[in-house]
Amino acid sequence: MPNGPRHGDGVTVIDAGRVSARVQRYLRVPSVVGFEQPFLAVLEADLHALGRSSERRPGLLAAPGGPVTVSAHVDRHGFVTGPGGALAYAANEVSHRALSPRLAAVVCTRYDQEDVVAYDTETGRILGRATIVHGGHCGIGPELDLEAPELAHLPASTPVAFTPPPQEEPGALVGQLDNTLSAAMAVELLASGFDGTVLFTCGEEAGRSWLALASWFDRPSTRLFVLDTSPFDDAGPVERGTAVLRHADAGAEFDSSTTGQLADAAQRVGVDILWKDDILSRAGRPLGRTELGRVISETAGRVSGSTLQIPTTDYHTNRERTSWTAIEAVGRVLVAATLV
């Protein structure tokens, strides 16, 4: 039976305050894409504290359980060191993809003057602290031209993570929420009595987490719920406490039955939903590619499911923001869809 926090009506809920406290703890543990080991160790300890067993596979930490599966990726954006304190964008370095001029311009704008820490890839021990500065050519071409001179003494390819900003806004959560927030929601779901399987995947920002996710399933499965954050230009969905769903991404249609299960759950618990693919289509914008879409397309539908997303603003920055209202609303949908 579910044993987590309950409202007066007896409905099990995921408490936003508990999620927020967990996220703030997780943000202090670096987890740059390709260098997630310190965060995986913390998550594994949390699983054991809840009485759950764990299993490690390449690119994956699992809490094995029943066939209903909840997944969240655990990597975040960051950098790796180069000569003389130069920084390279980790997602492109670990995936061996060239940085486009457009992305270089975005990164230069997004992360200039951010405080960062370099860390040991195994233990998470802090090896140095710095503030990012950019040169005069940053964002003009494909060269990133971002530096952290205080880290010039470190070996090449040392991971560099962002220092979490202070939490200064009551009722809100601010930081590198993609994807500490989804990981925290998954752990709190376990604390609420979820007896299914939870998967934590690595390398999503480098486009390779689908491999570990697909490898977990040894038979066809559609009972997969992928947690994530979803970016919005305005704060309306965040403040209203809206759950974000999708029928599809640019690569694949999601499982209609699982998507319908989420929509039905939202209706039962009185949470408004937005269909992100519909919003993007109406605006003439691309649907984008997701971890789940890649899994579905690469396995020819053998592994499928649907996504449940928490609305945020300032996506992929160190000041991504959501509200406790949104966290609690999405948590209610997650519980209603999985704790049955």
Superfamily covering domain 16-76+167-338:
Zn peptidases (3.40.630.10)
Antiparallel, parallel or unpaired: β 306-312 and 224-231: parallel
The string of DSSP codes covering 32-56 is BTT--HHHHHHHHHHHHHTT---EE
Cα–Cα distance measured from residue 136 to residue 156, given in angstroms and rounded to the nearest whole number: 23
- Is the pLDDT confidence value at 77 over 90? yes
CB within 8 Å of 335: residues ≥ 6 apart: 2, 11, 12, 13, 14, 189, 192, 269
Antiparallel, parallel or unpaired: β 224-231 and 66-73: parallel
Boundaries of every domain in the chain = 16-76+167-338, 79-162
Cα–Cα distance measured from residue 208 to residue 219, given in angstroms and rounded to the nearest whole number: 21
CB within 8 Å of 211: residues ≥ 6 apart: 59
| Eight-class DSSP state of 300 | T
* 185 vs 141, residue with greater confidence: 185
- Is the pLDDT confidence value at 73 over 70? yes
Over range 149-166, report the average pLDDT. Answer: 95
**CA-closest candidate to residue 150, choices 173, 127, 170, 172:** 127
| Eight-class DSSP state of 173 | E
SS3 183: helix
Predicted local confidence at residue 10, as pLDDT: 46
Look up residue 256 and give its two tokens.
């209609």
Antiparallel, parallel or unpaired: β 196-201 and 66-73: parallel
- Is the pLDDT confidence value at 6 over 50? no
Predicted local confidence at residue 70, as pLDDT: 98
Question: Residues 243-299: pLDDT tens digits?
Answer: 999 999 999 999 999 999 999 999 999 999 999 999 999 999 999 999 999 999 999
Over range 47-76, report the average pLDDT. Answer: 97
- Is the pLDDT confidence value at 211 over 50? yes
- Is the pLDDT confidence value at 8 over 60? no
Query: With bands split at pLDDT 50, 70 and 90, how would you rate the model's confidence at 340?
Result: low
Cα–Cα distance measured from residue 85 to residue 153, given in angstroms and rounded to the nearest whole number: 7
Predicted local confidence at residue 197, as pLDDT: 97
pTM of the predicted model as reported, rounded to 2 decimal places: 0.94
- Is the pLDDT confidence value at 185 over 90? yes
Predicted local confidence at residue 199, as pLDDT: 98
Over range 189-218, report the average pLDDT. Answer: 95
- Is the pLDDT confidence value at 3 over 70? no
> Backbone phi, then psi, for 253, in 5-degree steps?
-80, 135
Predicted local confidence at residue 144, as pLDDT: 83
* 340 vs 253, residue with greater confidence: 253
- Is the pLDDT confidence value at 143 over 80? no
Q: At what angle do helices 256-269 and 324-338 cross, to 10 degrees?
A: 120
Predicted local confidence at residue 141, as pLDDT: 66
Mean pLDDT for the chain overall: 93
- Is the pLDDT confidence value at 92 over 50? yes
